Amino acid sequence: MLTWIKWLVLSVIAIIALGIGAIYLSLYLSLPTLDGNASTEHIHTNTLLSRDEMGHAIITAQNKRDAAYALGFAHGQDRFFQMDLQRRTASGELSEWVGSAALNLDKKHRFHQFSQRAQKVFDTLPASQQQVLIHYAHGVNAALEEMTVAPFEYLAAGVTVRHWRPTDSILVAYSMYLDLQGGQVAIDLARTALKGTFGEPLYRFVTQPSNYQAALDGSEIPLSDDPIPDYPRLPEAKQEDMANANIAGETHYDATPPPDIGSNNWAVSGKLTATGSGMLANDMHLGLRVPIIWYRTQLNYTDKGKDVQVTGVSLPGLPGVIVGTNNYIAWGFTNANLDNVDWIALDDDTPTTQVEETINLGDGTTTFTLHTSEFGPVKTINNQRYALNWVAHHPFAVNLSVTDLALARSVDEAINIGKQIAIPTQNLVMVDVQGNTAWMPGGAVMERRKASFTAIPQSAAENLQPRKATTLPVVKNPSSDRIWTANARVISANDLSRLGDGGYALGARGRQIRDRLFEKDTFSEEDFYAIQLDNHAQFLIPWHDLLSGLLIQHDIEFKMDIAYLGKWKECACEDSVGYTLVKHFRRQVIQKLFGRLFSTLDSQGVNSRTLLRGIEPAVWQLIHTQPNDWLPDNTDTFDELLVDAYREAKHSLLDTYSPKEADMETLRWGAVNALKVEHPFASQIPLVGSLLNMDDVEGFGDTYMPSVQAPGFGASERFFVSPGHLDRAILTLPGGQSGNPLSPFFSRGFNDYATHAATPLLPGEVLYTRRWYKKEE
């Protein structure tokens, strides 16, 4: 019997060893070849792709098309899985990889019909941009054809590698529309449902302006002086569904606002630097995963008679540098949140067309029906049909003009190029070597006389001719010599009615950055890095003071809690338990006050969480005024509501992080908000899947401060640069160049990110080189 068990155990161990060996072999065989020579008919003349010890792609070519070919090859070698993931996300084809788990997401994205729109965009591009996309695709496919074994993700999922098409790059651009502007699509419907369900007074109360305003021109939208509306009567159907409203509406509602997609950037003129050159900072906030979104790139080529050397980050799937510098200028982006969405309430007799969509689930298929109209794809909410008119649905939504910033020699030239750019609308901030600095909306903005905040009637849309706006505001060399953006309103209050509100961030982060910029008169790259790492909890100080005052009245029950609040350090610091308590107290208060209302909206098929970004003034108005009709059932006073909210937040935290010991030390912010940069397939690969992830890092930073970080979200790059002085420039990324865990470039650079060190922008000594020669006809 013992012998039989021994052989069984040995057999299991042998099978596991063979499985691990097979995984290792497939990873090894899928490593790209980094040195060597080849010939191809897809380049004009000899072209080089070099890499340094970090895997930084350094491309030397005679023209932009050849550079695109080499960049496509580099992206295909190091990041094809990421590229494929993004084109599948936009086209609604993720289910082929992961099955029914992605079905609802695929249906949501098929609504936009991006696969069909991509071809229309390609057909409208200038011939020169079409050629760049074609050569880029040839480069990607040349890398695929060299692979001995497909990347491990394809082996794990049993999916065949599909070659890259020029239109797939447009799908990658669409995936960024979904990431950066998807919230705009949701927020107008949420506002419409809020107003339609509960009336104008509650709508104005929830969406009122806040005192966190930091527009570049200093303009402010007047604060509301409207009285608090009565707590509304919930719809009858909702009352029946929520027999125990406190439990269903408050406990299960997720009162965490969606992340403020889009980032920080700021700049100062040469008057505030030691060198006289302008200085730029940029950290784009996005979801963090393995492989990371950006790719270190330097392109050297000639275009339009100019020698170009541009260094920065490219987006695998697209040719060219997205954010970077050519040593004459530098530029960066944050999500502008201008309104580019109209939901159109269709008349009852407006015809629609049915479209049958088939989704491949890997082991089968499923079919569903979409409805479209002359105004756009149609969604039904509360028996009302709404058609979506979104800038992303029009051919002018995408082009490659962002890559022309590499040609600019001054801020003025960059502004002219910025007017041609078609990407999800961004705050484009620029500086140049002469010391100038400027801001403008860069990207596809819909031309409208008046922006909409809720759905518009069909009659208002019938004469609209969708086109890209040509007149946009520009701020150049402001008198303060400082520019800042952080996803909140940057535009003048006078421009708001025309350019709208597509879901601005509250403004606390932008105001904190602005204030930091006025604390000094001279800045270095290291000073900018310090601002990016600023985790001072300025926004939560009123919440801390409120909670401390409440708990002191119950000092026997909360003696330990009061001690933690006393040493919270006013920062989202790794060792701060008090910060965790304050953060989750605020969330639970919002949940108790608005959970039932917003759950009602969600039951109608909208996403009410988008409304939470601006909920702060309404919450404090309730706390200060304390109207009895806003109290939940079985609650007599607001103090009781607030203390109960704290108890619930604390118990929920302890249930999650220390269910047995109830140890408050486990609630250190560094543990609760630990950074986890993980591969999306890691959990599906037994035993060794965790090796695909970066090491966990103690949490540092949070939402309403410059140092933005959540467990899987944060600064996707930290970029600090002064043109003409690139030897001091910094580009720190949360991961490495390659998606293959056996590559020397897999995690190179992540340690700098985790320890807040400064990684040089410029590439180092060349270690590997691929050469292409023109194949003779």
Interval 204-233 mean pLDDT: 95
341 is in an annotated binding site: yes
State pLDDT tens for residues 393-448. Answer: 999 999 999 999 999 999 999 999 999 999 999 999 999 999 999 999 999 999 98
State pLDDT tens for residues 271-326. Answer: 999 999 999 999 999 999 999 999 999 999 999 999 999 999 999 999 999 999 99
Q: What pLDDT, on a 0 to 100 scale, did the predictor assign at position 241?
A: 46
Q: Considering only 5-19, 341-355, 612-626, 657-671, which range has the smallest mean pLDDT?
A: 5-19
User: Who contacts 540 (Cβ-Cβ below 8 Å, separation ≥6)?
Assistant: 579, 582, 583, 586, 704
Q: What pLDDT, on a 0 to 100 scale, did the predictor assign at position 777?
A: 61
User: In this structure, is residue 488 part of a structural domain?
Assistant: no
Choose, from 175, 263, 277, 743, the residue flagged as catalytic: 263
**Rounded CA gap, 620 and 48, in Å?**
60
Q: Is 373 a catalytic residue?
A: no
pLDDT score of 257 more than 70: yes
Burial of 690 (0-12, 13-18, 19+ CB in 10 A): exposed
Q: What pLDDT, on a 0 to 100 scale, did the predictor assign at position 14?
A: 54
User: In this structure, is residue 49 part of a structural domain?
Assistant: no
Interval 153-162 mean pLDDT: 85
- pLDDT class of 239 with cuts at 50, 70, 90: very low
Q: What pLDDT, on a 0 to 100 scale, did the predictor assign at position 588?
A: 96
pLDDT score of 716 more than 60: yes
State pLDDT tens for residues 558-569. Answer: 999 999 999 999
State pLDDT tens for residues 46-99. Answer: 999 999 999 999 999 999 999 999 999 999 999 999 999 999 999 999 999 888
- pLDDT class of 633 with cuts at 50, 70, 90: confident
Q: Which one is predicted more confidently, 98 or 342?
A: 342
Closest CA to 253 of 577, 714, 645, 631: 645
**Rounded CA gap, 254 and 234, in Å?**
19
Provide the number of structural domains found in the chain.
1
Taking CB atoms within 8 Å and a gap of at least 24, the contacts of 514-518 are 514/214, 514/482, 514/484, 516/706, 517/266, 517/268, 517/482, 517/484, 518/480, 518/482
* 148 in Cβ contact with 29 (< 8 Å): yes
How high does pLDDT run on average in the chain?
92
pLDDT score of 244 more than 60: no
User: In this structure, is residue 200 part of a structural domain?
Assistant: no
State pLDDT tens for residues 515-546. Answer: 999 999 999 999 999 999 999 999 999 999 99
The two tokens of residue 392 are: 């992303």
Q: What pLDDT, on a 0 to 100 scale, did the predictor assign at position 35?
A: 95
Interval 588-593 mean pLDDT: 96
Closest CA to 258 of 326, 324, 190, 307: 190
Calculate what percentage of the chain has a pLDDT beyond 70.
94
Q: What pLDDT, on a 0 to 100 scale, did the predictor assign at position 475?
A: 98
pLDDT score of 243 more than 80: no
Q: What pLDDT, on a 0 to 100 scale, did the predictor assign at position 775?
A: 82
Interval 475-483 mean pLDDT: 98
pLDDT score of 581 more than 50: yes
User: In this structure, is residue 659 part of a structural domain?
Assistant: yes
What is the H or E stretch that residue 441 is in?
strand 437-442
pLDDT score of 18 more than 70: no
**Rounded CA gap, 667 and 669, in Å?**
6
The two tokens of residue 609 are: 């969480």
Q: Which one is predicted more confidently, 148 or 638?
A: 638
pLDDT score of 20 more than 60: no
Q: What pLDDT, on a 0 to 100 scale, did the predictor assign at position 17?
A: 53
What is the H or E stretch that residue 582 is in?
helix 577-602
Distances (CA, A) of 443 to 310, 333, 342, 344: 20, 10, 18, 23
**Rounded CA gap, 586 and 649, in Å?**
9
User: In this structure, is residue 699 part of a structural domain?
Assistant: no
Q: What pLDDT, on a 0 to 100 scale, did the predictor assign at position 210?
A: 95
State pLDDT tens for residues 190-205. Answer: 999 999 999 999 999 9
What are the residues facing 389 on neighbouring strands?
Answer: 342
179 is in an annotated binding site: no
User: In this structure, is residue 626 part of a structural domain?
Assistant: yes
pLDDT score of 248 more than 50: no
Q: What pLDDT, on a 0 to 100 scale, did the predictor assign at position 150?
A: 86
pLDDT score of 770 more than 80: yes
Q: Considering only 158-172, 237-251, 594-608, which range has the smallest mean pLDDT?
A: 237-251
Tell me the residue range of the domain where 548 lies: 537-570+573-672
398 is in an annotated binding site: no
User: In this structure, is residue 618 part of a structural domain?
Assistant: yes
The two tokens of residue 166 are: 């020029």
* 76 in Cβ contact with 161 (< 8 Å): no
User: In this structure, is residue 610 part of a structural domain?
Assistant: yes
**Rounded CA gap, 693 and 739, in Å?**
11
